[in-house]
Structure 1
């Protein structure tokens, strides 16, 4: 999956301008705009001191570092990575004894569908432990893994946590009754690396519309809904079929027009149209300037194309496939900079700020174009409005520890 808060599969979607009152319900619109432009202050997390009377932790063996800061002692894997990994004791991990590890085990088992070479030997044991107690799972991890504090090249262990989600939209197979915004599959002959038509050209040129006429997956009601879907790169559609039945499907990223992403919130700020890119500012501006909403959306030339995937009952709780190629697990999967953390790595995440307190086991299973840096993660919150509300406000301090197999 290629996503953005990123810009993930960055883009906005729109059609001809309409009255803003015909767009999303108030709550969902607040979620959307908060997601696009929300910036909240963060505060640093802190590791707790060992309990009084606890036995002294054994000092981890020193690790030889490669030229880019990765542990050279891990054969054939981490010497190429750019983060600096420092071996530490388990006691350094905030909340390590309190996490409900069984909630993360589904994400671990999904890792084993496409395991990183270093973790493949552990998969048979991890599968057997899926029915074990949390105490047994924790003891096994302490025996088989070693924690490393992840730092940037200059030794900074503090970074940034953001979040993303899978929006859920009402849609229809047939245009009309308010469903006017198309979601397209890629057109035939879409160039892989060269720019195609801009968003404005896609939506206004008859020759481009003719190419895309047979590529409509479904129609949604609101250009702002489509905006969020383009930014996330994946979403769920509750589709009204032509026969009147309703079906839940997923649309996943299938390509772009290879145009640069431009933030519509930044566009408003740069023109002095809002003083701050928060929901009250953007909402007031859009309501006062309905004829310029389309202009705002066309300021972002990037456009995303999708493919439809079925969602059966067994897959309904799973997220979309991440860049590792396995389904994401809500609350237990993160996107990382793959030049700092390999896909499939179990990671201890600690973040404490105004939006959430998180201290938990997660799996590095995805990436994104805006997820850059050693201590940088995008937290997959799940699908729907509640997940979108969290994703819209989560922007706070982060610390990470990689859990790597012992040699």
Structure 2
């Protein structure tokens, strides 16, 4: 069986980032044997066959083709995708399965951990994690009231973004976010400080009466805001305060309020309703804060805009770590879990990213818009295996 390894080491990037932060990674008290820790994460892809993949429904093949056509608006002029994108546009939905089988070869993804010095393989894993997300609907007021006091904020002018890639190519894709204090650039405010700032009220797109709903809107990255007058405002991710995302569910487990198998969006919301005086304490466990911008939508049936700059397709778009899977790449994913039961195999397209989506086998599955999609997304925490779909004759290096 033909095997091909393509590598993306984070060691140089992490080292540079630590130096920029003024941190030292040197500890002379550590024993020599700890120097070669398994810190480098890489991907191995192995050419495979459709016979090893579970059966996929015609409906799912068609959704995958629809999503791929959307991505072709962006990647269709690239040499590797040009021919298959032209065929995707001309292929009727009824022939979606034949299109994928005839035009693409599946390559199984394996995550490997290597020692940063010797290259020793510490672990190999063909299984990762897939969570779910959706486009929520929030009832809002256009004006701040005694009831509607939680703002959905656009990006404030004092948030400064520094892109160092032009000076430090190894930091490509990494940005510093902060604000000025005199002539000094300092970290931007964390969540707890942002929600206390009244000077940011002028950046509010709308006002909610539910801090937990706004919190989950930030996690989803996009949503619809409905005013009392019946106006619908579409919003999408614009920027972030630069602090790392931390799951609030871990705090609930550590405190004994929920068991790990009980973690879901619905159970977190239920705990918040039952403990209203501790909601801020819960939400402040995550220092990250997301800012939005209004989206002009000409077709209301289209999904929210993902990181590829294109509309997402329900049950066919996924968020990926773009360090490992480039935007627009089609894949097949097999997701499964026991509690609650969930099992599916679907063709999907990499069309989005997310703060918690890190690694070659880490995905977020887009369920669509509304309450039903929210229920499905909130309960998903699946084991996942995945195959990258490459045009016949192509190899993984071709899509980098």
2:190 to 195, 198, 201: 198
Matched, 1:87 2:47: yes
| 1:254-273 aligned within 5 A | 254-272=238-256
Report the equivalent of 2:369: 383
How far the C-alpha of 1:112 sits from its partner, in A, is 0.7
Report the equivalent of 1:217: 205
How far the C-alpha of 1:390 sits from its partner, in A, is 0.7
Matched, 1:133 2:133: no
Matched, 1:238 2:238: no
SS in 2 for 1:319: coil
Segments of 5+ residues of structure 2 without an aligned counterpart are 10-40, 113-122, 162-176, 179-186, 394-400
SS in 1 for 2:42: coil
Matched, 1:311 2:297: yes
How far apart, CA to CA, are the structure 1 residues paired with 2:98 and 2:94? 10
How far apart, CA to CA, are the structure 1 residues paired with 2:3 and 2:309? 31
Per mean C-alpha deviation after superposition, the further-off stretch among 191-200 and 323-332 is: 191-200
Q: Is the Cα–Cα contact under 8 Å of residues 93 and 401 in structure 1 kept in the other structure?
A: no
| 1:390-401 aligned within 5 A | 390-401=376-387
| CA distance 1:296–1:144, shift in 2 (3 Å) | closer
Report the equivalent of 2:75: 115
How far apart, CA to CA, are the structure 2 residues paired with 1:203 and 1:304? 12
2:62 to 88, 91, 102: 102
Report the equivalent of 2:392: 406
1:150 to 88, 92, 109: 109
| 1:3-402 aligned within 5 A | 62-66=2-6, 82-96=42-56, 100-115=60-75, 117=78, 118-129=80-91, 131-134=92-95, 137-153=96-112, 154-176=123-145, 178-192=147-161, 193-194=177-178, 195-204=187-196, 208-210=197-199, 212-240=200-228, 245-272=229-256, 278=263, 286=272, 289-312=275-298, 314=299, 316-354=300-338, 355-402=341-388
SS in 2 for 1:300: coil
TM-score by length of 2: 0.72
How far apart, CA to CA, are the structure 2 residues paired with 1:258 and 1:68? 23
TM-score by length of 1: 0.71
How far apart, CA to CA, are the structure 2 residues paired with 1:159 and 1:295? 31
Across the aligned residues of Structure 1 and Structure 2, the Cα RMSD in angstroms comes to 2.8
Higher strand fraction: Structure 1 or Structure 2? Answer: 2
SS in 2 for 1:189: coil
Segments of 5+ residues of structure 1 without an aligned counterpart are 1-59, 70-80
Q: Is the Cα–Cα contact under 8 Å of residues 63 and 313 in structure 2 kept in the other structure?
A: no
Q: Is the Cα–Cα contact under 8 Å of residues 139 and 226 in structure 2 kept in the other structure?
A: yes
How far the C-alpha of 1:263 sits from its partner, in A, is 3.5
How far apart, CA to CA, are the structure 2 residues paired with 1:330 and 1:133? 19
How far the C-alpha of 1:68 sits from its partner, in A, is 5.8
How far the C-alpha of 1:160 sits from its partner, in A, is 1.7
Higher RCO (CA-CA < 8 Å; seq separation 6+): 1
